[in-house]
Chains A and B, each alone.
Chain A
Amino acid sequence: MQFNSIEFALFLPIVFLIYWAIGYAHINDPLKLRLQNAFVVLASYVFYGWWDWRFLLLIAFTSFVSWGSGLLIAKSSTPKAAKAWTAANIVLNLAILAIFKYSDFFVREFGQLFGISTDNLLLKIILPVGISFYTFQALSYSIDVYRKKIEPTRDIIAFFAYVAFFPQLVAGPIERATNLLPQFQTNRQFNYDQAVDGMRQILWGLFKKIVVADNCATYVDQVWATYDTQTGSTLLLAAILFTFQIYGDFSGYSDIAIGTAKLFGIKLMRNFNNPYFSRDIAEFWRRWHISLTSWFRDYVYIPLGGSRVGKWKIVRNTFVIFLLSGFWHGANWTFIAWGAFHALLFLPLILLGKNRKYTANDVTWRDIPKILITFCLVVIGWIIFRAESIAQAWDFLCGICSSSILSLPWVESAKTILPIPFILAHVILFEWFNREKQHGLAIESLKPLARWSLYIYICLLIVAFGAQPETFIYFQF
């Protein structure tokens, strides 16, 4: 079920009403909690099963194994045994991920390396939606139990709800057990202000997805399909629009997910903090896909020694985290190259000790030149990310650098391209003026009339400028 569908518009209020009907039922608190959590699991499985019910077994298996491993880790009599159970859970979860997501990639690359035909060996399995997200979420639990950051839970229903909570099940934010699991272990109270803010965030997320991302996608997809015949200016425009497309798509999803969770009294972690207002690449990575970046930081980078080691190890650690981050996105060399590209941009900053220069949320107009330079670097990265092969990315970049960069970009129809500057101006201005807040439509301080006028205005923009619905890009990861 997609967030930008009629089905979800009907599903959400029904689930919301039943969930809080249980919450307000005259029964004892422990039973109420268990019933609410069981209902969250049921609703989440319906939400996920809407795509493909067969993969529900996989989520259930991942959840059960990770829940069981948590108990076994806690029961272990020696640290060695606890470590073994943790390792076993990590290996099992990563093996499932590898089989579904990476097996064909490795087989194909192996075949190419040794000149062997591997067609018969390819598994050609459909990639389960969101597998990378919920696998990492399940992993974080067992690692945190092993590190004694969290007590293992005996409540299997709460744990299943933690892994499968539908707003963030298929595209994050990748939650930590330390943040989300305790919320499923305590009674939730309905909070009016939180719920209203959730609705605002959902509206803003829908705007970014339906209006910004899907409109940009129309142009971007056309140009990428014929990139070898396009002028440099067209390729550049497509690259810039893809930069906004992927932001609108993914941060839009995150906003809807976080806003939806607020309706259920659950606070999810922030996933985007205006990444295109970053003043250098290090800041960009503190603002983009925060839940994944911090996951790799906490579970890979810091255990490797982080930046408190020798220079060569810093270089190694930086490359490890960026290459893994790239590879997490998919089984393609382009994602690895994208990670390597960002590692190369990040390295000088960390080696010179400037990677934490911009940690405060204090961007001003004076920072615009730095913001633009960072934006340009990010655009180059997205070209590598969007390409189907390294060769295609290279051709695309060469195309941009050709003399045709000075020509006018190709436009198939004015209808598709004309509204884009208008739309982008909205997203940039709203997010700029609310850059210190949680999302672009955090307008609770305005007077009611102004607030409601803005809601209606955003709704009108969605109706007038909404594009044909596209699947969220990050579902494939």
Chain B
Amino acid sequence: MDAFGGAEVRAWIDRFIANVLDRTGELTELDRRAGDGDYGTNLRSALGRARVNLEGAEDPAAVFTAVSEAFLNTGGTSGPLFGMWFREFAKAFTEPVNGTNLATAAGNAAAVVQRLGKAEVGHKTMVDAMVPAAQALRAAAERNAGPDQALHEAAAAARTGAESTEQLLARRGRASYVGEHARGVMDPGALTVAMFFAAANG
């Protein structure tokens, strides 16, 4: 497939929501060991609101706007950051979604989260999966890879990035308060980002 239309984007988001809702227990457990344990609850309420907002959302920008608004109406700090992250996808996507606007969206989105969250790669946050995924999408776009292939590579990069957080000592975010206790625990925000890109290809 050379381009994603509204239906494909909607299916991607629906798979993402379903996969995350299936694993909120696991995400909460990670946050309990490395944060304050409210991550799964906040995520579940954001995704519940997203499902309501998604009623009737058909084009790619509308789908991502629905998800963004739901996250912006979520407590904690990861909720609003995800809201601003998804918002950049809504802003960059025109139908159909191709490799170029995927790369633009993910690049802008990672930059917004880094700026607002004041986090760099290696701080054991969601940024550790967002930045490598954006880089993979940029590299794929430069060799004119289709969106399927680009998102496949982004998913692998995000997964590797998320796994790298296991051994990191947190510098930002909730896990920074518990120091060494969080070493060995994957950052649940980074894992969520990996799940987002993994959901793209069914």
A, B co-complexed: no
